[in-house]
Amino acid sequence: MNFLDLTLRLEWVAVAVAALVFYAMAGASWWLFAVLVLAPDLSILGYMAGPRVGAVAYNTLHILVLPVLLALFGSVFDNGLATSVALIWIAHIAIDRALGYGLKLSSSFQDTHLGRIGG
């Protein structure tokens, strides 16, 4: 692993830690965290319709835009559940990136913007 890859992974570790710290500070249920932390990976089911649909489904739930908007909604409208779900979602994405799992290309599940998984 080169310096740039290591730096990027460490940045995502920092994001994951921040999401977990904010989640703990919010006093949210760790049971909720356990139940929802892998929920974004259900998007893998999109691959049953082919690699293009699978990539769109996976990427839709693995970009920061939606959980950040949900966190803003939760903050603005004092909605603790929305904020908690957003922080879980952000933690999931950050952990994936820290482990080297990137957004999917339409060619194959193994092809990501960070390179090929397992290759």
Q: Could you tell me the residue ranges of all domains in the chain?
A: 3-116
pLDDT in tens, the chain (119 residues): 899 889 999 999 999 999 999 999 999 999 999 999 999 999 999 999 999 999 999 999 999 999 999 999 999 999 999 999 999 999 999 999 999 898 888 887 787 787 777 75
What's the predicted TM-score (pTM) here? 0.93
Q: At what angle do helices 3-26 and 80-98 cross, to 10 degrees?
A: 160
